[in-house]
Chains A and B, each alone.
Chain A
């Protein structure tokens, strides 16, 4: 691309023609504070923090995030006028921001706090009446607190354009503006898939997960409870960030040690049931393929995706695998297989999961997720951030923890399971198993590179015996929508599609450490594949604990018992409150 020359604070840089002034400043190594800006997204220019002076401009300062750089442009960022303006804008922002910073879940990881410090704000000239506060705790997954909101609209951008769900947008105007669902409904009444990408995008504490920490502390403190914990694949490559380690640090065994110190009786691995998912889902797929079942089959591990398809593509629910997610398979086994094996009354077992996800909180609360009458399969769901917080509260010195292994048997897993944490991982793990089941031959190269990477939609054709299996993988719901539209139009001849709700897969989930950027996603992804490489067993069907589970308890994949415990069905949801059945609405 054509290059242009821009001078910023006397430093000349050459940048591509379509750069903004902010891009050019970054290239020149000059820091400009930003709040509403998200790299890779259309600039909004709403917060007005990134102001700069453009020589020859008409007097007003310009928002560097949205102002195009032009050849020969001279920009100043370090002037008294710029300092004063930025400071005044942040003071105005703070004048409508409830500053109970110590009680805020984002304190010390708050972009507004950091900018206020950086700009040297010591007083606020513009204090006055605060906007009316809306605190919405209706959702099982996400809490909204408008008193913290700075109306940067980053959540709106991800909700509308990355996830194409459109739950959140600006309602009312001027000083009364709030970011809310339509007609200022509560989240629980709105169409929200609970993915938590809004939480990830929030620079302040206006959006955060529903707290499950207290109930877990209560359970741990209860001598009658046997408290077990499962950890999702993507947590182990991200939780280190909460303790200052660089993104992509592999801290699986420190995490296990940390959770033991928190006080869990057993530390197990969701990877165990990820392997189990492959067995169940793989056989379901082969069954559909050979017996004329509904294709393409869609994966069902990601609860945000499940919510999405229930709302937006209910016609495609028959395509969805009937397998529960690994979290819920684990929960079901914890209160049956594990209870039996340990000789513990299921009602005494308190089952906790640590997930990179906010939608998992909603999933655990679904009515159908109860295999023992009156008990939830999963009692509490902690995000990666909450798990780290519990460790902090417990006084754990995470960085200096020793390495410890998971408990057996529900802690034994394979490389195929850990890659569930990255987009394409479920597909790759399934192919590793399906190939060997169908051909009876050993798969030498287990790496299916075509389904790896951060690209939104990936496809591949894999020869499995006589079958040319056509597969597709999407992460981020806008990408899922593209594939589903093709399926709806009958233009997709895929056999098997993996969908992950969040961009990059679970490693970029709404429960992961903040921030999550593409750079961070890449680092976490590398760590996931390194974990896979480092494990002795890399195919789910070779997991000895899974073999034992079938021998001792389930029989065979897709057996009657397996169906009862590990499979479920999902139901269409209306996009608007209505008593009219969906079919009727659509026919009108």
Chain B
């Protein structure tokens, strides 16, 4: 194995590639070679580093210096100054410090605790050796050699791990249902559809540390008796698909997937299934329908997937982050894990603050951290010196909270974090505009199967369009509330049930702002174009 004095990680996440990361990488390789440094310095592609707004970005190790917004033109200077002469190029250093996500665990911000993200930005995601060097597949070895499937389930239950996709169902219990279900074949499905706007944590894991997911899935297969796994990745995540598929191939070559895994007699293999971009396919039964080749639509529940899942067989469906937690629980024990977090929310949670924050990105904190710690402590607070207004918790299907929620704790006992998106709004944003935007999202994504969601999402958008155009009336507020209630009570799946949640949660919080639109026909934030002729808008 060759030794290098420096490693450069290039953020090759989808967003970065779109902004020219590949050209930066190629130039970097050329520059290094032209200066004869290619035997000393290695360029490594990694997944997204969680620097949402500042790509292309690179990290130079061993110093751990992050350069953000790097262009092809900047590359010679970085090579000349930093790599040859050892002087940092200050003008490109990311917020004159290293973003939390690329720091080694020990030096992370006080509130941050990296369990799932510990390898991200540290190892080469294409190298299984580097994963193994960071104790990768140790959990699998432990499970297969020192634990029975029942032990694994007991450990998972004791850990208190809850699903990280938003609903928070206890993972160990889910596994137990499938383990106990009759079935000649069982499946483990990883939900990597990550369609909720504002969420980008799963992408980071798949791009930066895909073996974690594979390891979690094999352990789940061992615990439940499953033979086949699918990772359902949203089609837009090309880099995630590539990195995950590569990791699966390598794992299979090394005997960590396929027949007789680690000589234990366990047979299990994984296939990547690419979604086609429908948000509904993140709903677990629609996801299964999609894999089976049907139209992406939710199915009647009960029965639930743990007993009647993919192709009617017992199926565990877990979110990416959930599965990525599994190896850590098995290696370090349920006791260790259950000491992190709060009474009802164990472990860490990855958040992806975005919107009007200074440093959008991905941050992992123990459950129970406050909203303020994440938004102001890590994401740098509101950008451009503006004032904080509200956060949409988890994305458009979550609740909207205001300033008084900043000191609430992120956990199921207090403020439910959903899948982890924190869409932050500053004072210049309009609540009606935001809610209208959310409604448009649901109108676009409704599968059209059940009446309240299909027609309700349309009527919701119409109402908000009218309000934003100065055609609303005060009675509309009650009507929209009734509509949102109807959708929540009567829709067939989560999509329709949660489509009106953000609106409902915002009524009392921003009543004045709604009334300004409805009664005074004015938009306090000056966002909505209130001057449209009423007859034209509301026929």
Q: Which A residues contact B (CB, under 8 angstroms)? A: 43-49, 51, 59-61, 63, 66-68, 81, 84-85, 88-89, 92-93, 95-96, 125-126, 128-129, 150-151, 153, 169-170, 172-177
Contact across chains for A85 and B451 when beta carbons are under 8 A apart: no
Residue of A nearest to B453 (CB): A174
In Å, the complex CA distance between A305 and B466 comes to 53
Contact across chains for A88 and B300 when beta carbons are under 8 A apart: no
Question: How far is the CB of A115 from the nearest CB of chain B, in Å?
Answer: 12
Residue of B nearest to A86 (CB): B490
Among B250-258, B403-411, B455-463, the stretch in contact with A: B455-463
> Mostly helix, strand, loop or mixed at chain A's interface?
loop
Give the number of residue pairs across the A-B interface with Cβ within 8 Å.
110
Question: Inside 8 A of B454's CB, which chain A residues have their CB?
Answer: 96, 151, 174-175, 177
Contact across chains for B448 and A45 when beta carbons are under 8 A apart: no
Question: Inside 8 A of B295's CB, which chain A residues have their CB?
Answer: 169-170
Residue of B nearest to A61 (CB): B489
Interface centre among A47, A95, A126 (most CB of B within 10 A): A126
Question: Inside 8 A of A93's CB, which chain B residues have their CB?
Answer: 451, 455
The yes or no answer to B497 lying at the interface (CB within 8 A) is yes
The 3 closest A-B pairs by CB, nearest first: A177-B448, A174-B446, A92-B455
Residue of B nearest to A176 (CB): B448
Contact across chains for A46 and B486 when beta carbons are under 8 A apart: no
Contact across chains for B490 and A151 when beta carbons are under 8 A apart: no
The 0/1 profile, CB within 8 Å of A marked 1, for residues 452-493 of chain B is: 101111110010000000000000000100110010111110
Question: Inside 8 A of B491's CB, which chain A residues have their CB?
Answer: 48, 60
Q: Interface residue count for B (Cβ, 8 Å)? A: 33
The yes or no answer to B70 lying at the interface (CB within 8 A) is no
Contact across chains for B450 and A45 when beta carbons are under 8 A apart: yes
The yes or no answer to B526 lying at the interface (CB within 8 A) is no
With A47-B450, A128-B459 already in contact, 18 other A-B pairs whose C-beta atoms are closer than 8 Å = A43-B300, A46-B492, A60-B497, A61-B489, A63-B492, A85-B489, A88-B482, A88-B486, A89-B452, A129-B462, A169-B295, A170-B449, A172-B448, A173-B278, A174-B445, A174-B447, A175-B455, A177-B447
Interface centre among A44, A45, A92 (most CB of B within 10 A): A92
Interface centre among B456, B483, B486 (most CB of A within 10 A): B486
Contact across chains for B489 and A60 when beta carbons are under 8 A apart: yes
Question: How far is the CB of A90 from the nearest CB of chain B, in Å?
Answer: 8
Contact across chains for A95 and B450 when beta carbons are under 8 A apart: no
Question: Inside 8 A of B490's CB, which chain A residues have their CB?
Answer: 48, 51, 60-61, 85, 88-89
Contact across chains for A46 and B451 when beta carbons are under 8 A apart: yes
In Å, the complex CA distance between A92 and B462 comes to 13
The yes or no answer to B302 lying at the interface (CB within 8 A) is yes
Contact across chains for A45 and B300 when beta carbons are under 8 A apart: yes
Question: How far is the CB of B215 from the nearest CB of chain A, in Å?
Answer: 34
In Å, the complex CA distance between A437 and B456 comes to 67
The 0/1 profile, CB within 8 Å of A marked 1, for residues 498-512 of chain B is: 000000000000000
Question: How far is the CB of A308 from the nearest CB of chain B, in Å?
Answer: 23
Question: How far is the CB of B11 from the nearest CB of chain A, in Å?
Answer: 34
Question: How far is the CB of B214 from the nearest CB of chain A, in Å?
Answer: 33
B314-357, CB < 8 A from A: none
Interchain residue pairs with CB less than 8 A apart (26):
A43-B300, A44-B449, A46-B450, A48-B490, A51-B489, A60-B489, A60-B497, A68-B302, A89-B486, A89-B490, A92-B451, A92-B452, A92-B456, A93-B451, A93-B455, A126-B455, A126-B459, A128-B458, A128-B462, A150-B451, A170-B449, A172-B448, A174-B445, A174-B447, A175-B458, A177-B454
In Å, the complex CA distance between A61 and B490 comes to 6
Question: Inside 8 A of A47's CB, which chain B residues have their CB?
Answer: 450-451
Question: Inside 8 A of B452's CB, which chain A residues have their CB?
Answer: 48, 88-89, 92
The yes or no answer to B231 lying at the interface (CB within 8 A) is no
Contact across chains for B492 and A48 when beta carbons are under 8 A apart: yes
The yes or no answer to B443 lying at the interface (CB within 8 A) is yes
The yes or no answer to B444 lying at the interface (CB within 8 A) is yes
Contact across chains for B479 and A125 when beta carbons are under 8 A apart: yes
Contact across chains for B448 and A173 when beta carbons are under 8 A apart: yes
Contact across chains for A125 and B482 when beta carbons are under 8 A apart: yes
Residue of B nearest to A90 (CB): B451
In Å, the complex CA distance between A170 and B455 comes to 15
Contact across chains for A170 and B448 when beta carbons are under 8 A apart: yes
Q: Which of A45, A68, A85, A88 contacts B492 (CB 8 A)?
A: A45
Question: Inside 8 A of B482's CB, which chain A residues have their CB?
Answer: 88, 125
Contact across chains for B300 and A126 when beta carbons are under 8 A apart: no
In Å, the complex CA distance between A406 and B201 comes to 78
Question: Inside 8 A of B459's CB, which chain A residues have their CB?
Answer: 92, 95, 126, 128
B422-454, CB < 8 A from A: 443-452, 454
In Å, the complex CA distance between A88 and B487 comes to 9
Question: Inside 8 A of B447's CB, which chain A residues have their CB?
Answer: 173-174, 177
Interface centre among B450, B456, B482 (most CB of A within 10 A): B450
In Å, the complex CA distance between A422 and B452 comes to 41
Question: Inside 8 A of B458's CB, which chain A residues have their CB?
Answer: 96, 128-129, 174-175
In Å, the complex CA distance between A173 and B446 comes to 7
Question: Inside 8 A of A172's CB, which chain B residues have their CB?
Answer: 448
Question: How far is the CB of B444 from the nearest CB of chain A, in Å?
Answer: 7
B288-314, CB < 8 A from A: 295, 297, 300, 302
Question: Inside 8 A of A45's CB, which chain B residues have their CB?
Answer: 300, 450, 492
Question: Inside 8 A of A176's CB, which chain B residues have their CB?
Answer: 448
Residue of A nearest to B458 (CB): A175
Interface centre among B297, B488, B489 (most CB of A within 10 A): B489
Question: Inside 8 A of A177's CB, which chain B residues have their CB?
Answer: 447-449, 454
In Å, the complex CA distance between A174 and B482 comes to 20
Contact across chains for A59 and B492 when beta carbons are under 8 A apart: no
In Å, the complex CA distance between A353 and B482 comes to 53
In Å, the complex CA distance between A95 and B454 comes to 11
Question: Inside 8 A of B450's CB, which chain A residues have their CB?
Answer: 45-48
Question: How far is the CB of B529 from the nearest CB of chain A, in Å?
Answer: 20
Question: Inside 8 A of B300's CB, which chain A residues have their CB?
Answer: 43-45, 63, 66
In Å, the complex CA distance between A81 and B490 comes to 11
In Å, the complex CA distance between A49 and B490 comes to 9
In Å, the complex CA distance between A406 and B447 comes to 54
Contact across chains for B448 and A175 when beta carbons are under 8 A apart: yes
Residue of B nearest to A125 (CB): B479
Question: Inside 8 A of B445's CB, which chain A residues have their CB?
Answer: 174
In Å, the complex CA distance between A47 and B447 comes to 13
Contact across chains for A175 and B486 when beta carbons are under 8 A apart: no
Question: How far is the CB of B148 from the nearest CB of chain A, in Å?
Answer: 32
Question: Inside 8 A of A129's CB, which chain B residues have their CB?
Answer: 458, 462
In Å, the complex CA distance between A351 and B354 comes to 74
In Å, the complex CA distance between A347 and B486 comes to 62
Contact across chains for B446 and A175 when beta carbons are under 8 A apart: yes
In Å, the complex CA distance between A51 and B492 comes to 11
Question: Inside 8 A of A51's CB, which chain B residues have their CB?
Answer: 489-490
Q: Which of B278, B302, B448, B451 contacts A89 (CB 8 A)?
A: B451
Contact across chains for A92 and B489 when beta carbons are under 8 A apart: no
Question: How far is the CB of B446 from the nearest CB of chain A, in Å?
Answer: 4
Question: How far is the CB of B393 from the nearest CB of chain A, in Å?
Answer: 19
Question: Inside 8 A of B483's CB, which chain A residues have their CB?
Answer: 88, 126
In Å, the complex CA distance between A169 and B293 comes to 14
Question: Inside 8 A of B297's CB, which chain A residues have their CB?
Answer: 170
Q: Which of A92, A95, A150, A173 contacts B486 (CB 8 A)?
A: A92
